[in-house]
Amino acid sequence: MIRKTRLFTPGPTPLLPAAQFAMAAADIHHRTPEFRALYQKVLAQLKVFVGTQNDVLLLACSGTGAMEASVSNLTSPGDRVLVLTAGKFGERWVDLVKAFGCQADVVEAPYGQTFQLAAIKAALKPDTKAIYLQASETSTATNHDVQAVARLRDEVAPEAILVVDGITGLGTTHFDVDGWGIDILIGGSQKAVMIPPGLAYLSVSEKAWKAMDASKNPRYYFDLRKERKNAVKGESAYTPSVALIAGLGAALDYIAGQAGGDLEKGRIALVNNAITNAAATRAGLVALGFKLFSPDSPSAAATAVAVPEGLDSSDVVKALKSRFAAVIANGQGSMKGQIFRVAHLGFFDYLDTVALLAAMEHIAKDVLKLPVEYGTAVAAAQKVYAEAAKA
């Protein structure tokens, strides 16, 4: 039997063929006018993709590198910062700010939930230097309300820098970066922008640039001020990841092309695509008898569901791979075995969603021994899609 490998993971996501070919063709030197033209074009596109007038920078690193840059460039040892954590990536913020000597006020929510705004308000202090959170907590497939956090910041600690890990939030969430005052918004290449891992990008507000001058934490490779100075000339401070940048340009061209060449509209369509596929997937998996892991604030980047008591989500992950070559994500850390996650961010379409749900029906029936009527999950997804297509 032919089985095409299909990634349904929240990073890496399926590669855009046009980006793959652009990467293969990227046989250029990075200190030439050709590269400078490419780099400036991609940086300009990224501003539209992020949706901001702020500078957007590219770094040759994974998303975690840009998270580190957002700590090392903006804080000094002993600074008070607020960290919001409700999953493995929130915990990464806690580890990072501690690694750079910050005094961390931590607001937690249980896995699968988002924060109580009252708890955030109580934890914000007038001397809070920065706030760190995820827009979408990938490990639990939960959305956090960035706009609400920004409003609380304005109210209680207006000087605080708002740093948002949008690694799976970008391309799956409608942000008003400048309107809400998001000072740093971080993205990664292997997510909504349809290329392999290896690049991070982040927008930086004027307020964040000013704060950097006061920061006493050490940084060299991730010195954002150096990157900004070079970016103006169309260069990177250190050797850039040339092929990934070429691929990123092709992917942003594709996203624009989906809306007649208008990248802003293309970004909005991409977000709506993720929202519709996420809603269809939730409907399908619930129709099969799974419980949403994050029912109150589900992410559009991925959907996490709990397997019934006594069953192991690892069996679902393994069987989908061995029977259909479809790759989904298990739970991370203590959630392993309890939940599985199906992604919608980036180069996924509705037919991917129904294909995955049809495969999941076989697994639910044959592996988990659930009472499955064939077509149930697919039909539930079809109803959601039909409604969305009407709108």
Q: In the complex, which residues of this chain contact a second copy (CB under 8 A)?
A: 1-4, 6, 21, 24, 258, 269-270, 272-273, 276, 323-326, 347-352, 354-356, 358-359, 361-362, 366, 373-376, 378-379, 382-383, 385-386, 389
The tokens 């192991």 sit on which residue?
A: 312
Minimal distance in Å, beta carbon 295 to a second copy? Answer: 24
In the complex with a second copy, the residue whose CB is nearer, 107 or 319, is: 319
In the complex with a second copy, the residue whose CB is nearer, 97 or 242, is: 242
Q: How far apart are CA 185 and CA 171, in angstroms?
A: 12
In the complex with a second copy, the residue whose CB is nearer, 230 or 272, is: 272
Contact by Cβ (8 Å): 100, 75: yes
Question: 335: closest CA among 371, 294, 365?
Answer: 294
Minimal distance in Å, beta carbon 264 to a second copy? Answer: 16
Contact by Cβ (8 Å): 167, 59: no
DSSP H helices in the chain:
17-24, 33-50, 63-72, 88-99, 117-123, 146-156, 177-180, 206-214, 224-232, 242-257, 263-287, 313-324, 350-366, 376-390
Helix (H) or strand (E) holding 302: strand 302-306
Minimal distance in Å, beta carbon 86 to a second copy? Answer: 29
Q: Which two tokens stand for residue 115?
A: 């924060």
Minimal distance in Å, beta carbon 343 to a second copy? Answer: 13
Minimal distance in Å, beta carbon 5 to a second copy? Answer: 9
Minimal distance in Å, beta carbon 271 to a second copy? Answer: 11
114-146 burial, b at 16+ Cβ within 10 Å, e below that, comes to bbeeeebbebbeeebbbbbbbbbbbbbbbbbbb
Minimal distance in Å, beta carbon 366 to a second copy? Answer: 8
In the complex with a second copy, the residue whose CB is nearer, 196 or 337, is: 196
Minimal distance in Å, beta carbon 24 to a second copy? Answer: 6
In the complex with a second copy, the residue whose CB is nearer, 176 or 349, is: 349
In the complex with a second copy, the residue whose CB is nearer, 276 or 313, is: 276
The tokens 């980006």 sit on which residue?
A: 19
Q: Which two tokens stand for residue 12?
A: 């890496």
In the complex with a second copy, the residue whose CB is nearer, 208 or 255, is: 255
Q: β-strand 339-343 against 329-330: which pairing, if any?
A: antiparallel
Q: How far apart are CA 76 and CA 79, in angstroms?
A: 6
271 to 202, 318, 353: CA distances (angstroms)? 18, 29, 15
In the complex with a second copy, the residue whose CB is nearer, 49 or 93, is: 49
In the complex with a second copy, the residue whose CB is nearer, 159 or 349, is: 349
Per-residue DSSP letter, 16? P
Minimal distance in Å, beta carbon 27 to a second copy? Answer: 12
